[in-house]
Amino acid sequence: MTAYGGGGLGLVREFAEALGRCASLQERGSRALCLRLMAKELGTPPPVREYDVAHYFLLELASVCLENPRTMRALLEALRAFNEDVDEIRALTDDLLADPALPVDEVLSLRPLLDGLAPPNLPSLCRRAVADLRPVPPYPDAWSAFEGLSRLNARPDGLPPTLAFVEYVAAEAPHDRSFTLRAWNDTQAQALSLLTELRSLRQQAAYASSPEPGNAYLVVRLLRREEPGRYLLTSWRHYDPDAPDSWRPRQEGSVEVTPAEAEREVERLVFAADEDWARDADRIHVEFLLGTDDLTLPVHRFRTELDSDPVSYLSVGYCVVVRSLQRSRTPRWYRPWRQRWTAVRDTPELARPLVVGGPRPE
């Protein structure tokens, strides 16, 4: 098992809620019979008092069982005698009684690094941390999420969900916080002999694109015209925080431009999008659709603030992506390209980094 133990009122409440779904624990008489069956299994009556209110009884029963694995097993046997479906309770028991994977001191040292972090896409980060293998309840902040995920078993790659969660949070945290979180993660992974698995996940987290609320998109297509040096520039916008998984770009318009005029027009489009999304969008992606002969156009180096000194470059302030117009118009290529991207996403350590230009091209 890989989890961080420690109990707590939250665990008692969670386990009591699961017990409350057992019909045999709703009536006073059947609850008394359950305790007698547990006594036969234990050889002594469990230290649980009866209450007029069923919820109070369940809280005490949950608390006693969480303190003693033997009492927990006796309860499962008694519920099975009532023909209750104990699969959910057994799965929850495995999580709650899992041995801690991380030392308590190390976990406590992490809290100051997570305190105050509440990413808007926290539910998505939690789902990724558990590899979408099970539903995850909502958490108000990063530390609460870490505590909740600490009771879950390891992912298929062997990583505890807690380490995966810290990695996903680090990918979105400010630089100084991100560096410290990754250093903490490296220490834990090395102690668990999972450093290779963590490094693989780190690359996936760093380069994964997710349609989360807060991500806005400006799409710019450049089509060559018959007249040399002329292009038809068409733009679209997409931003839908209420449906982040949808893709419904809205066309803005088209204009004929030269390459120099295209730079000025992209600056205008970006500034207009920035003003419209200033209060809502956390990140603006600028995506270019280019024909085969124009894929080498340095659109990432299009300048912004052209009338200021010094100028800035588009790729400094925005996420810039270049897409092949030919590939987007050839559906028969979609499947093999999707397979290639899946291979790169799942095994990023096999990909070879490529750096173009710079003082050290090697």
Element (H, E) at 38: helix 28-42
Count other C-beta atoms under 10 Å from residue 88's C-beta. Answer: 12
Report the relative pairing of strands 303-304 and 283-290 from DSSP bridges: unpaired
- Which whole number is the average pLDDT over 334-338? 78
pLDDT over 60 (residue 210): no
Average pLDDT over residues 301-330: 84
Please report the pLDDT score of residue 333 as a whole number.
Answer: 77
Which pLDDT score is estimated for 211? 47
Q: What is the pLDDT of residue 184?
A: 93
Q: So what's the pLDDT on residue 235? A: 93
Answer yes or no: is pLDDT of 276 > 70.
yes
Percent of the chain with pLDDT over 90: 16
Closest CA to 146 of 166, 132, 172: 166
337 pLDDT higher than 70 = yes
Residue 100 contacts by C-beta under 8 Å, 6 or more apart in sequence? 3, 4, 5, 6
Q: Which amino acid is at 355?
A: V
Q: Is the pLDDT of residue 268 over 50?
A: yes
pLDDT (tens digit per residue) in 139-149: 888 998 898 88
pLDDT category at 4 given cuts 50, 70, 90 is very low
Shortest CA distance to 159 belongs to which of 137, 118, 190?
Answer: 190
Q: Whole-number mean pLDDT of the chain?
A: 81
pLDDT recorded at residue 2: 37
Q: Looking at the predicted structure, is the pLDDT value of residue 7 above 50?
A: no
Question: What pLDDT sits at residue 182?
Answer: 92
pLDDT at 308 > cutoff 60 = yes
pLDDT tens for each residue of 74-102: 898 898 888 887 777 777 666 555 555 67
Statement: the pTM of the whole predicted model exceeds 0.95: no
1.20.144, 3.30.70, 1.10.260, 3.30.420: CATH of 215-336: 3.30.420
Residues 212-265 pLDDT 10s: 557 889 999 999 988 888 999 999 998 876 556 667 788 888 999 998 899 999
**% of residues, the chain, pLDDT over 70:** 85
Distance CA 277, CA 131 (A): 32
